[in-house]
Amino acid sequence: MQFRFSDVLILLAKLNFVFPKFLGRKYMAYTSFFESNSTQFSGEKELIDLVNFALCNVEHYKDLGICPISRISDFQEQMPFIDKDQVMENWESFLLPNVNSREVDEGTTGGTSGKPLKLIAGKDRYIVEFNTMFSMWRNVGWTGQLRGVIRNKHIKPGKLFVVDLIKKEVVFDGFRTDQEYYELMYEVLRRHKIGYVHAYPSSAHQFARYLKAFKKNVSFIKAFLCGSEGVTDLQRQLIVGDLGIKIYDFYGHSEKLVLGGPCPGNSAIHIEPTYGFFELIDEDGAPVNEKGKTGEIVATTLHNKYMPLIRYRTGDFADYVGDYCSYCKRHLPLIDNIQGRWEINKIYLDDLSYVSITALNLHSDLYTFIDGMQYVQKEVGKLEVHLIKGERFTKSTEKRFTEHFATALRGKCAHKFVYTDSIPKESNGKFLPLKQYIDEEAIKA
């Protein structure tokens, strides 16, 4: 009965032809603003208004003693950078005082570094969030049709999925990875011709392993729309190379300061300027605007007056590509090769130096021999490489992997392979490419 009733709900969601108007008049008003500024938007007025509001009303910024600014150059010269640790240590000073709790929602960062940050935002934040996200999906072919979702949702026992009639989503349990559940998931997607699936890359990859192993017809699946984790070469090889399904990678974070994605003709991440004010800086805090140069992503809210994070150092790094896309004819920041927070992506060698997990990337053909991989480090100078063997994995393959890691780790880190049938997700449904148990502060001491 649950299955049949849910089918009825899916049909009703499909028949929601007025989507996204159901999200309200304020949502549609912002849609008009967003579309009218899609080609070029400086954000200068919005940035200056938000910063001046914070300088006058929010304790942390009032204490800086900075006069109201009038130009972006004032902002860059006078406003200092902040980071997650600073916000956590002085949390209340970053909040707008005397706010009615009914006006705001609370959330947290993912906590992959072990210290989640509590966040406050207005209840109408969805207006900016959904408008921007839906626009980026439209850029790669989605036209408002029903979507599947495989992310961080726990579905109650006895149910297979839930249907969001307003957002036109069929939401599956992101924590169930057994064959029986994947079979049911596949049948729902196939029967209702759901061509776009919003997923964590790791969730898309696990589902894709099932699709490949059981030789499923995937011609109706147009793309996986991925975010919250980086897409690895291993995941891309299986999904795009083996199954022929497109995968689009979008960048954002829980602080909701920056959001970006590709366009059909350019895989670089297009940073949406109406969402937040974006900067890329070098280690001295100077702007990075040279193609191919790496910098840290710094972002400032344009919308959250309740907890305005200004010049927030994300700990994420990227390569600068440019400020104009010749394919979609848009003036906006372009970046690629995004690396997550460097402090949690370091592997420590026996001499206390370190390498990034990016430096350990496999040669492309090696990915064809495995179905999953995760690094685990519990001691300095020792690394566990957890592998899910593929059908073609042999002793000679293991030798090639041994040679690869011996070279990549410079002979300064002993490694061993741990073979497993699955790699567990974190409690938030995400996959960590590296589980790092070493405290960097202890090393520095």
Contact by Cβ (8 Å): 173, 19: no
Q: Is there a single domain that holds both residue 4 and residue 27?
A: yes
Q: What is the CB neighbour count within 10 angstroms for residue 401?
A: 19
Q: Is there a single domain that holds both residue 239 and residue 311?
A: yes
Beta-sheet strand order (sheet of 147-150): 161-164, 169-172, 147-150, 196-199, 223-226, 246-249
Query: Of 324, 341, 358, which one is at a domain's C-terminal end?
Result: 341
Kindly give the confidence (pLDDT) of every residue in the chain, 445 residues in length, as a single tens digit, with 9 standing for 90 and above: 445 667 777 877 777 666 777 788 898 999 898 888 888 898 999 999 999 999 999 999 999 999 999 999 999 999 999 999 999 999 999 999 999 999 999 887 765 444 678 899 999 999 999 999 999 999 899 999 999 999 988 888 888 999 998 889 999 998 888 899 999 999 999 999 999 999 988 889 989 999 999 999 999 999 999 988 888 888 899 999 999 999 999 999 889 999 999 998 999 999 999 999 999 999 999 999 999 999 999 999 999 999 999 999 998 999 999 999 999 999 999 999 888 765 567 888 898 888 777 778 787 678 888 888 999 999 999 999 999 998 889 999 999 999 999 988 878 899 999 999 988 887 777 778 899 888 876 666 5
CA distance linking residue 99 with residue 101, whole number of Å: 6
Q: Is there a single domain that holds both residue 333 and residue 369?
A: no
Is pTM beyond 0.95? Reply is no
Q: Is there a single domain that holds both residue 250 and residue 319?
A: yes
Q: Is there a single domain that holds both residue 333 and residue 413?
A: no
Q: Is there a single domain that holds both residue 139 and residue 246?
A: yes
CATH number of the domain encompassing residue 356:
3.30.300
Q: Is there a single domain that holds both residue 351 and residue 332?
A: no
Q: Is there a single domain that holds both residue 209 and residue 323?
A: yes
- Which domain range does residue 433 map to? 345-442
Closest CA to 218 of 199, 253, 200, 243: 243
CA distance linking residue 274 with residue 127, whole number of Å: 12
For the chain, the domain total comes to 2
Q: Is there a single domain that holds both residue 204 and residue 332?
A: yes
